Amino acid sequence: MNSAYQNKDDYLIIGLGKTGLSVARYLTARGKPFSIADTRLNPPGLEAFRQDWPEVSIWLGPLDIELTSSVSCLVVSPGISIADPAIEAAQKLGVGVVGDVELFCREVEQPIIAITGSNAKSTVTSLVGEMAAIAGLQVGVGGNIGLPVLDLLAQGKQDLYVLELSSFQLETTQSLNALGAALLNISEDHLDRYTGLDDYVFAKQRIFHRCSTAIFNRDDPLTLPIHGLNAARLSFGLAAPSQTNELGLVMHNNERWLMKGETSLMPASEVSLVGEHGLANALAAFALGFAAKLPLAAMRSAVTHFKALPHRCELIAERKGVTFYNDSKATNVGAMLAAVKGLAKPEAPTWVILGGEGKGQDFSPLKTALAKNIAGVALIGRDAAIIAEHLPEALLQKNFSHLQQAVAWLAEEAKMGEQVLLSPACASFDQFNSFEQRGEVFAQCVFDLPS
């Protein structure tokens, strides 16, 4: 074994990506010795890393127990499963296994607002960050969105941190102790990494451990906290609230209002986020804002003026009376169904673009959910044939090799007043570098259509 890996005071960073680099910067700034490993033989950024840290030992390729047990602590990036045999074996031998979020939580003393869920994490995280900023707080927003959490430390002392956290990040986090923790929703996702839905749910539920206020979705029983049972509770949902710790929607003078118990928050018509799922996201953000004791006026202002994030039910353009929406971030069935339901208009059927890398999901809910108010489906990507098996038999559908072909077909088929929604319910990596690139290609295809 190379002697470079024999120092038990060392950290081993596993994963040379955005997170791994942030950990390297963090440990370097604190004078902590480390080495790095990546399961890929030629990971992106390798040469740049070697230039910045020429003295650091690098291991490339599959992990082995001799490597992982030769240090005192493994800092595992979210893209690496802690179920890797070499990581599990090292943990049994007493080696610490943490992630960047755990290192962050051990360092900061400021309160943390934490958000997870299968869908809408980025929207709610960004919205709560804007609420805090409008309230005059110095706020750090990051995690699974924007900056890695350890890079937030370089911004100086903050009053509040608002973190989007994935299930992968939560697996290696023990010290979150969030002031407010929200589990927005659960739908099948990442089942190529988890043993089943229960395993995935348990990872998400870790966000509630030792939190002060647990926030869950009344419309999704899987979000009901199983940790943090001594925490205060707030819930949100589209039905009317029945008690003071519930947020929901109520009709007042023929207009829907967002409410907390009997307290009016704002008219639904003033919420900038589109669709029913947009209202649910606004309610979740309000709940988190209350947990952080933010002023109601600041919360209202943020919800009124918040601009939807790119690739999340983003209005692209109207062409010949047909409206095109980019929801490329919808990488699972739950996100896609939320978008379809949220944009549903009985008088204006929706055309949907589906397909990509399915991640082992169950597509059977599509048969019922797409039976009404859907004009047709354009299928793309690797798992198009699998999705096709679960579509309603009478639904018009067509398979395309490229997204550009699908957009061209839909532009011909869709009638004035109808809408086209890119909401693939799949990951993008079979045809694109990222969901962002997929959304950008879709938008360009729409812009190129005759107006």
pLDDT at res. 8:
59
Q: In the listed set 259, 284, 305, which residue is the last one of a domain according to the structure?
A: 305
CATH code, domain carrying 80: 3.40.50.720
Mind listing the pLDDT tens digit for each residue in 316-368?
Answer: 999 999 999 999 999 999 899 989 988 888 888 999 999 999 988 999 999 99
**288 and 372 co-located in one domain:** no
CATH code, domain carrying 254: 3.40.1190.10
Characterize the bridge pairing of strands 314-319 and 322-326. Answer: antiparallel
Cβ-contact 423, 339 below 8 angstroms:
yes
Domain that holds residue 319: 314-447
The rounded mean pLDDT for the chain is 94
C-alpha–C-alpha distance, residues 145 and 163, integer Å: 8
**132 and 200 co-located in one domain:** yes
Mark whether 121 is an active-site residue: yes
**pLDDT tier, 190 (very low <50, low <70, confident <90, very high otherwise):** low
**273 and 163 co-located in one domain:** yes
**326 and 386 co-located in one domain:** yes
**186 and 59 co-located in one domain:** no
**91 and 156 co-located in one domain:** no
**Burial of residue 195, with CB atoms counted within 10 A of its CB: 0-12 exposed, 13-18 middle, 19 or more buried:** exposed
Residue 2 has pLDDT above 60, yes or no: no
C-alpha–C-alpha distance, residues 24 and 62, integer Å: 20
Residue appearing with tokens 């018009």? 396
> Per the residue annotation, which of 119, 185, 190, 277 is the catalytic one?
190
User: How far does CA 316 lie from the centroid of its chain?
Assistant: 21
Mind listing the pLDDT tens digit for each residue in 286-306?
Answer: 999 999 999 999 999 999 999
> Per the residue annotation, which of 119, 121, 329, 332 is the catalytic one?
121
What average pLDDT does the segment 152-175 reach? 96
Mind listing the pLDDT tens digit for each residue in 422-445?
Answer: 999 999 999 999 999 999 999 999
Count of structural domains within the chain: 3
> Per the residue annotation, which of 144, 281, 326, 332 is the catalytic one?
144
Give the residue from 350, 341, 415, 345 showing the smallest Cα distance to 378: 350
Q: In the listed set 243, 273, 305, which residue is the last one of a domain according to the structure?
A: 305
**198 and 264 co-located in one domain:** yes
Residue 7 has pLDDT above 60, yes or no: no
Mark whether 190 is an active-site residue: yes
Q: In the listed set 52, 76, 98, which residue is the last one of a domain according to the structure?
A: 98
**255 and 142 co-located in one domain:** yes
